[in-house]
Amino acid sequence: MERSIGFRASDVIQTILAVLVLGTVSLRVIECKQGSVPDALHYSAINCRKHSALLTDFGAVGDGKTLNTKAFKAAIDSLSKYASDGGAQLIVPPGKWLTGSFNLTSSHFTLFLHKDAVILASQDEAEFPLVSTLPSYGIGRDGNGDGRFSSLIFGTNLTDVVITGNNGTIDGQGKIWWDKFHQGQLNFTRPYMIEILYSDNIQISNLTLINSPSWFVHPTYSSNVLIQGMTILAPVDSPNTDGIDPDSCTNTRIEDCFVVSGDDCIAVKSGWDQYGIKFGMPTKHLIIRRFTCISPDSATIALGSEMSGGIQDVRIEDITAINTQSGIRIKTAIGRGAYVKDIYARRMTFTTMKYVFYISSAYNQHPDTGFDPKALPEVKGINYKDVVATNVTYTARLDGIPNDHFTGICISNATISLSEMPKELQWNCSNIAGVTSNVTPKSCNLLPEKEKVDCAFPEDRLPIEDVHLKTCSTTETA
């Protein structure tokens, strides 16, 4: 049967706010015996595994000081032989497991974290080997040239891979990387926490991720991706700590997640300028639901700004944001090309926002001077409905491009309550076209009010919505 992993945001918000300090998020691990899992643990996954091993079987030491990179690599290499024989799972038991970057080299594989397990990322750059720049970006996203640091957990060309746990923790120990970034001391792009490339049937679920050096979860050039039940935390001033970034992916489901971030809580991407246009792989058929965000300086959900492969058919519902700069923000610029179209969102609740509706065409950072100034983005078919927002500074800022108007914008059944000191101009609109219906405060002239308009939301289901999870055990046959 399919299992849904849910939470009530109100139950956790006060706890999360208490740890939003300007340093790293601190997490104390419950003391328990290292290296053993005394009882069978059950979890939900797209597939169960026939074979199982503990990380300690390969010499790992969970004292938070001993480097375990070789143990992770040895374990994964050893278990890879079972890929064609029912697959294998590597169990990370209670303890603090310091490691550098490691690759998931085997398909039909599960990495499982016990609830009292913490994977600690090494703070030594040498533990993060350089990998190739993503072809749809051209250069490292931190503005560096060829090469970038490998992600803490990295995989490419995989099928049927699960990264999950009973809310075990991965700590990126990102502050040293943030400091180097601010001080201009990095020669290559910072590591992401989890990055999976060119893969199919991927599940990332039921984990707590904290303090990533940069983006947290980055599925790229992949299909049939399930991201579920994640808690992702970073200080609200940490640089580029996006929570979840589906990038040139097809058929993706993100649900029941809670993110506190120094950047966008979710950023939907598909490549950067001429490199993304040439690579030509869109993000499409994406559903985001039951999602909560805190990010005072960024978006709840951003579409772009790297969207040069295109973004299409995104379905967003049951979204909560608190003390966040904007709701859904479309980010693009001259030179991006491609499109953001067929976007649908409903049932969104926002509290303390700068902007509710935000479309920006002024993201003028480019990988190099080779971008095409004639590559104009197409933005059309943007549908928002059933929105309630309180303590808002601006209702909307919607900026298209001269001679490239953004069209088909529809907003219906939206009630916006303003802050004590709101901006006088509540709707700042240029180079756009569309309609509104039952929207307060009254919209701009470019979005005239129409009676009885109900903005669209698809009635069909995406294939990823019908993926059913199995109940698996950590004590499958070895």
pLDDT at residue 338 in the model = 98
pLDDT at residue 220 in the model = 98
Confidence of residue 4 (pLDDT cuts 50, 70, 90): very low
Catalytic residue among 245, 263, 264, 342: 263
The secondary structure of 71-95 as a DSSP string is: HHHHHHHHHGGGTTTT-EEEEE-SE
Contacts of 58 (CB under 8 A, 6+ apart): 71, 72, 74, 75, 78
Of 90, 5, 79, nearest to 44 by C-alpha is 5
What's the whole-number mean pLDDT along residues 134-139? 96
Residue 460's CB: how many other CB atoms inside 10 A? 6
Q: Domain for residue 426, yes or no?
A: yes
Q: Domain for residue 338, yes or no?
A: yes
The pLDDT tens digits of the residues spanning 97-128 come to 999 999 999 999 999 999 999 999 999 999 99
Q: Is 452 exposed, middle or buried (0-12, 13-18, 19+ CB in 10 A)?
A: exposed
Bond prior to 135 in cis (omega within 30° of 0): no
Q: Domain for residue 315, yes or no?
A: yes
Given a cut of 80, is residue 394 above it in pLDDT?
yes
pLDDT at residue 40 in the model = 78
Confidence of residue 146 (pLDDT cuts 50, 70, 90): confident
Q: Domain for residue 459, yes or no?
A: yes
pLDDT at residue 436 in the model = 98
Indicate if 179 belongs to the active site: no
Given a cut of 60, is residue 230 above it in pLDDT?
yes
Q: How many domains does the chain have?
A: 1
pLDDT at residue 18 in the model = 43
Given a cut of 70, is residue 85 above it in pLDDT?
yes
The pLDDT tens digits of the residues spanning 300-341 come to 999 999 999 999 999 999 999 999 999 999 999 999 999 999
Strand partners, 98: 67, 120
pLDDT at residue 7 in the model = 39
Q: Domain for residue 31, yes or no?
A: no
- 3-state DSSP call for residue 12? helix
Phi, psi angle pair for 177, to nearest 5°: -75, -40
Phi, psi angle pair for 93, to nearest 5°: -80, 180
CATH classification at residue 151: 2.160.20.10
Confidence of residue 38 (pLDDT cuts 50, 70, 90): low
Q: Domain for residue 11, yes or no?
A: no
The pLDDT tens digits of the residues spanning 413-439 come to 999 999 999 999 999 999 999 999 999
Integer Cα distance of 102 and 80 in angstroms: 14
Confidence of residue 476 (pLDDT cuts 50, 70, 90): low
Percent of the chain with pLDDT over 70: 91
Instruction: Please check whether residue 214 is in contact with residue 240, taking contact to mean a CB–CB distance below 8 angstroms.
Output: yes
Q: Is 217 exposed, middle or buried (0-12, 13-18, 19+ CB in 10 A)?
A: buried
Q: Domain for residue 310, yes or no?
A: yes
Confidence of residue 147 (pLDDT cuts 50, 70, 90): confident
What is the residue range of 112's domain? 41-467
156 vs 187, residue with greater confidence: 156
- Is pTM beyond 0.75? Reply is yes
Q: Domain for residue 36, yes or no?
A: no
pLDDT at residue 86 in the model = 97
| Mean pLDDT of the chain, nearest integer | 93
